[in-house]
Structure 1
Amino acid sequence: MLFLLLVITGLTVPASPASAHAAPVGSNPAPGSVIGSSPSEVTVTFSEPVAPVAGHVQVIAPDGERISGTATVSGNVVRIPVRKAERPLGTYLISFRVISADSHPVGGAITFSVGAPSARPEAPAASTGPHSSVAVAVPLLKTLGYAGMTLIVGPALFLAFLWPRRRSRAGALRTVRIGVVLSAVATAGALGTQAQQGSGAPLWRVSAAELAEVATSQFGLLLLARLTVLAAVAVLLPPLLRARTPARAAATPVRLLAFAGTAPAPPAPSVPAPSVPAASGAAATGAAATRPAIGRVRGATVLLLAVAGLATWPLTGHAVAVPLPAVTVAAGVVHMAAMAVWIGGLVTLAAFLLRGTNPRVLGVILPVWSRWAALAVLWLVVAGLVHAVVQLGRVSALWETDYGRLLAGKVAILAAVLAVAAVARRLVVRRATGALRRLVGVEVAAAAVVLALSSLLVQVDPGRVQAARDRAITGAGTSETLTTDLYTVQFNIYPVELGEYNTVHAFLYSPAGAPLRAEEWQLTARLTDPALEAVPQPIAGLETGNQALGSVSFPLPGTYELTFTIRTTALDRATVRTTVTVTG
């Protein structure tokens, strides 16, 4: 039920708007611009450092020919060498697919023109976003990874410190192994889908060369390190969690009672130990002294590996693409560790301990766990607050961005869970086990939703990115050629959006195709539904003779009729019309 809830929650929230965490903020030539000759290089500037996806950064000439060489990157500037097209006049398209600093793909297209605008070349499919199969697989894999981590940490803590002596450990040990497998599958899946996120290909279409390129990138090396950590934990952790030796098992209730603030029961009458030969006794004493030392070394090793493994999560996400990466990475490790302790502990209680355990034993275990959970939640909130402050950037992003709204929803659910946990803590004091079972079930279900929302948050643009996205350039605009018996006019309007700042660049030619000088240019725009009066727009001829530059205002969304009236001589005048649609 837990995993079903996670999957449903993860898949029912749209993930498609969240594939890009860097934004293009400039280019040379400028988007929508018209230049006199073909450039030898074009550049695209992004809001943060990026890495180009091989074969998916290109410049396409007006006739559809690819004229670009291998793209290079310097920080947040991508440089693309280009050769002269066979037919250089017309509109060019810069199509790009890059990987942002937080490992997410960014795709898009920008246009510019040489001489005069023409029909826009068709953009490659890779620039439109990831394939639907990849868009579904990525958040699902992240959810499985988070779930696997909680199934490792929670049961492991209980088995190491709070497990009742008379309860079987088999189920909890099996859960730890399942957690390791889930985390490994999620990590391998992330490695196997990164190339498709970059190329825009479906999930099943990936080459060995692409996988090798991912594996040798910083993202791939971090995930391979995580797989190595998981393999080491799978070997080192189970021996620490299996049944304890009689001496250690006898000491466990005493420690737990001390944690719970209850005086231990009087010790049982001593039983004389069987006599053993001196040499054998010395050997046994040495072996007994060695085993705890080995256990301590193994435990310290597992703890260090756990911290290293947890660090690979923020290092491959939003935390590294901020002004204070050391702070956000540290906060990310603490946040994930606290989350795994809290949710994993709840799952362990609900699945193994609240039923079938002697109430007296629960009376010892639950107060200790209650204090651990309170500390975990405290660190969870503190680390989450640090991360949210850095990622939101401004308070208004909390309600103006998808990231902020998801974060607010997560906080609201978390607050409700904490209210339930407060009631559960009072029940622990009263030792009302039956009601406690129901409340823990509610906590687990709500925590599952929090976990799913976390997997979505790492896919959504952080609030701090919104400012860059507001400045982002696009290939938006329209180009068209209109013809009369008197002339042919080609024009480009950029970017075709609500407001006054839509640039119009027009070119005039004779019916034979030669540049034609205009004596007068007029342009009007009229909203057709509802029908309004035509409004004159500012436009004027340039010194080049056959060109005019102006602007057009679109105050409301809808379809506008554009009318060009051009006088070529004192007597010759003609009018052409077309329509453009402006969305809200």
Structure 2
Amino acid sequence: MTSAARRARAWLIRFGAAVGLLVAVVALLLAPATPASAHAVLVSTSPVGSAVVPQAPAEVVLTFSESVRKVSGKIRVIAPDGSRADRGEPRFSGAVVTVPVDSSGPRGTYLVTYRVISADSHPVSGAFTYSVGAPSTPPTDTGNDVRADPVVGVAVKVAKYLGYTGLLLLVGPALVLAALWPRRLSRRGPARLAWAGLGLLAFATLADLWLQVPYTAGGGILDVSGSGLGEVLGSTFGAAHLVRLGLLAAAAFLLRPLFAAPAGRTDLIILAVLGGAALFTWPLAGHAAASPAPAVSVVVDAVHLGGMAVWLGGLVMLAGFLLRRADERELDAILPIWSRWAALAVSALLLAGTVQALIEVATPKALVDTTYGRLVLAKIVLLAVVIAVAAYSRQLVRRRTAAGRPTPMRRAVLAELAVTAVVLGVSATLVQTTPARTAETQVAGTPSGYYSATLTSSLYSLQVELDPAERGPNTLHLYAYTRDNKPQRVAEWKVTAALPAAGIEPIDVPLLPLTDNHVTGEVSLPAAGQWEFRFTLRTTDIDRATVTATVPIR
């Protein structure tokens, strides 16, 4: 190739990288500026929930604990006769949502259902009632199914896992080819692995965007409309993912010559900048951007992710290529350098993970009282195992055992990869779990007697939640599912509560249907003790089954 052809090719490569980077910058500039928040909670309403007002209001106001954004068509007001009472689009202003309603509607009880999105991209839904003039039988909102298909939740976690996997499969080969790869060895195998990682990462990013529509708006994996996709792309979540795609496109032009031959210093610097910028798209689209200290959380989350990608990506290259192909002299030069890199990556990962856990978990109690905290503990235990194996690997390097007999080293590396594959699964679940700082706040505001159980019969499975499970007023939520865990339509519900030990006969619990498979109710329990609850559900004209539960009331 002539020098002119090489210059033209270099110019084309940099031009392609610049175009991809421009796409990323444009997506970033178009991203909406939203305040930091997480897992919003409805703190007040106007009219107040369950209140009786003399005249129909002209609007219903919902105030959340944090800023929220809309999901089209998911805030509805249902009149006593079952018709829609809301008029026009709700107005969103930070944490306040205003819903225009028909002020000339009939007297009776109105049902308000809502579904909004927190700043960390997780949906928040619920319902409440108010009455005009006098209470009546509450209506049901059969046209507003806000549930997401369970398959969608699983698919979201799978997409996160694939994204992490693609990242390490891309970073590992790129890093080793740039700095540690012996010149005599063919680059074809690592290059193929890196291209597979890039493709997997791009696919996972697109899948995230697609799945975010049914995850936030409700529905199945194929329930994606143009308007719903537009809302996702116009959000911070969407902008972060579009930026990631642009950065990947820009990097692809520079990776191609790197995979063919050693790259120049300028190209490596540009690649490092693009890679560092891409790492920030993960925390900007998740919990970190909505933490109490977003600037710190975003940085440490990006460092945490980068340390993981360098460490695990390098292990993949060691196990898959270097320990199999490099000779003794080459391994003597490579392994000590890699050992130092791994130590730095693990140190960064642990330091960033510690800071991240302190912010997200908030209190030691939350480590054991919340799902997020328990997942963090599981991740810590798994990482401890991996670090122990990694320490053994570094001992092999120091003894030069790996150079003479690479088999023990290869086995240790494979053991590290096996355990860290589980760590990636825990991480993919963590990013979809309510942060402990939020969940623990809810737990702190909820007495420790909160009761939750799943009861089964031959017809259905019933999820029971009683809050706060103490003497006095309690809120009951019931969710019915089929035996294969799909929402079960219930034609009639009946619930009673009794305390035989105190001579208290069964009390009927009035219920408010929210969806076909979900009802709520309020019950006042006058005494502490072992209360017997009976739940009778009729699913068809002839199919009926009763399940019971003994609930400790403090």
Q: TM-score, normalised by structure 2?
A: 0.75
Distance 1:550 1:151 in 2: 55
2:228 maps to 1:210: yes
1:381 to partner: Cα distance: 0.6
Tell me the alpha carbon deviations over residues 192-243 of structure 1, each in whole angstroms, 9 at most, x when there is no partner. 1222122212111212222222222222122111111111111112212423
Letter of the structure 1 residue corresponding to residue 49 of structure 2: P
Aligned equivalent of 2:97, options 78, 100, 110: 78
Corresponding residue number in structure 2 for 1:334: 303
Whether 1:100 aligns to 2:115 is: no
**Superposed counterparts of 1:552-571, under 5 Å:** 552-553=525-526, 555-556=528-529, 558-559=531-532
Find the counterpart in structure 1 of residue 504 from structure 2.
534
Within the alignment, does 1:54 sit opposite 2:27 as a pair? no
Distance in 2, matches of 1:496 and 1:349, equals: 53
Bigger shift: 326-335 or 210-219? 210-219
2:429 is equivalent to residue 463 of structure 1: no
**Residues 214, 162 of structure 1: CA spacing in aligned structure 2 closer, same or farther, 3 A cutoff?**
same
Matched, 1:193 2:162: no
Matched residue type, 1:397? A
Matched, 1:220 2:238: yes
Shift of 1:380: 0.3
Matches within 5 A, 1:43-442: 43-69=61-87, 70-84=89-103, 86-90=105-109, 92-124=110-142, 128-244=146-262, 295-432=264-401, 433-442=406-415
Q: How far did 1:42 drift?
A: 1.7
* Equivalent residue for 1:21, pick from 25, 30, 39: 39
One-letter code aligned to 1:469: Q
Report if aligned partners of 2:115, 2:146 keep a CA contact under 8 Å in 1.
no
Residues 242 and 391 of structure 1, relative CA distance in 2, 3 Å threshold: same
Task: In structure 2, give the amino acid aligned to 1:197.
Answer: Y
Q: Write the distance in 2 (CA, Å) between the matches of 1:38 and 1:353.
A: 74
The question of whether the paired residues in 1 share the 8 Å contact of 2:367 and 2:377 is answered with yes
Q: Which residue of 1 aligns with 2:417?
A: 444
Structure 2 CA distance for aligned equivalents of residues 201 and 527 of structure 1: 34
Q: CA deviation at 1:129?
A: 3.1
How many residue pairs get aligned? The number is: 446
Does structure 1 conserve the Cα–Cα contact (< 8 Å) formed by 2:56 and 2:103?
Answer: yes
Partner of 1:507: none
Q: Decide whether aligned partners of structure 1 residues 368 and 550 sit closer, same or farther in structure 2, where only a CA change above 3 A counts.
A: closer
Larger Rg: 1
TM-aligned CA distance change 1:347 to 1:330, over 3 Å: same
The 3-state SS of whatever aligns with 1:106 is strand
Secondary structure of the corresponding residue to residue 376 of structure 2: helix
C-alpha distance in structure 1 between counterparts of 2:499 and 2:205, whole Å: 53
Which amino acid is the alignment partner of residue 191 of structure 1?
A: L
Answer yes or no: is the 8 Å Cα contact 2:44–2:63 preserved in 1: yes
Residue matched to 2:58: 40
Amino acid at match of 1:407: V
Aligned residue for 1:499, secondary structure, equals: coil
1:291-326 residue CA offsets vs partner (Å, 9 max, x unmatched): x8xx23222221111111111100000011122111
- What SS is found at the alignment partner of 1:116? coil
Instruction: Measure, in 1, the Cα distance between the counterparts of 2:168 and 2:523.
Output: 60
Higher-RCO chain (CA-CA 8 Å, sequence separation at least 6): 1
Return the alpha-carbon distance in structure 2 between the equivalents of residues 229 and 336 of structure 1. Answer: 16
2:471 match: 500
**DSSP-derived class of the 1:396 partner:** helix
- Deviation per CA, 1:371-426: give whole Å up to 9, x if none: 10000000001111111111112111000000000010001000011011111110
Letter in 1 for 2:97: V
Q: Look up the SS of the partner of 2:219 in the other structure.
A: coil
Q: 8 Å contact 1:498–1:556 — kept in the other structure?
A: no
Structure 1 CA distance, aligned partners of 2:322 and 2:143? 53
CA distance in 2, matches of 1:582, 1:208: 48
Percent identity over the alignment is 44
Cα gap change, 1:85 to 1:560, in 2 (>3 Å): farther
Considering only aligned residues, what root-mean-square deviation do their CA atoms show, in Å?
A: 2.9
Equivalent residue of 1:22, what SS? coil
- Measure, in 2, the Cα distance between the counterparts of 1:171 and 1:320: 37
**CA distance in structure 2 between the aligned counterparts of 1:101 and 1:496, rounded to whole angstroms:** 27
3-state SS of 2:261 partner: coil
Letter of the structure 1 residue corresponding to residue 167 of structure 2: M
How far off its partner does 1:336 sit? 0.6
1:45–1:77: 8 Å Cα contact kept in structure 2? yes
**Could you tell me how far apart the structure 2 residues matched to 1:327 and 1:112 are?**
43
Residue aligned with 1:448, SS: helix
Give the C-alpha shift of residue 36 in structure 1.
Answer: 3.0
Distance 1:206 1:66, change over 3 A: same
| Aligned residue type for 1:534 | I
Shift in CA distance, 104/409, structure 1 to aligned 2, threshold 3 Å: same
Once the two structures are superposed, what CA deviation does each residue of 1:91-142 show, in whole Å capped at 9, x if it has no partner?
x221111111001111222223333333332245756531122112101111
Q: For 1:77, give the aligned amino acid.
A: V
Q: Is the 2:146–2:219 contact (alpha carbons within 8 Å) kept by the matching residues of 1? A: no
With over 3 angstroms needed to count, the CA separation of the structure-2 counterparts of 1:556 and 1:52, relative to structure 1, is: farther
- CA 1:379 to 1:428, structure 2 compared with 1: closer, same or farther past 3 Å? same
What is the alpha-carbon distance in structure 2 between the residues aligned to residue 318 and residue 301 of structure 1?
A: 28
Instruction: Tell me which moved more, 450-459 or 25-34.
Output: 25-34
How far, CA to CA, are the matches of 1:65 and 1:165 in structure 2? 74
From the superposition, tell whether residues 180 and 67 of structure 1 become closer, same or farther in structure 2 (CA, over 3 Å). same
Q: Is the 8 A contact 2:147 2:219 kept in 1?
A: no
* Helix, strand or coil at the partner of 1:354: helix
Distance 1:31 1:155, change over 3 A: same
Q: Bigger CA drift: 207-216 or 372-381?
A: 207-216
Summarize deviations over 1:494-525 as a string: whole Å, max 9, x none. Answer: 98752234189xxxxxxxxxxxxxxxxxxxx9
SS in 2 for 1:93: strand
Q: In 2 relative to 1, CA 98–221 (structure 1 residues): closer, same or farther, beyond 3 Å? A: same
Mapped partners of 2:265, 2:523: distance in 1: 77
Aligned counterparts of 2:47 and 2:161: Cα–Cα separation in 1: 42
Aligned partner letter, 1:223: H
Structure 2: distance between partners of 1:189 and 1:526 = 45
In 2, the alpha carbon distance for the partners of 1:104 and 1:230 equals: 25
2:140 and 2:213 map into 1 onto residues whose CA distance is 23
Could you tell me which residue of structure 2 aligns to residue 573 of structure 1?
A: none
- Kept in 2, the 8 Å contact 1:500–1:551? The answer is yes
Could you tell me which runs of 5 or more consecutive residues in structure 1 were left unpaired when the two chains were aligned: 1-19, 245-291, 473-493, 505-524, 538-548, 562-579
Secondary structure of 2:434's counterpart equals coil
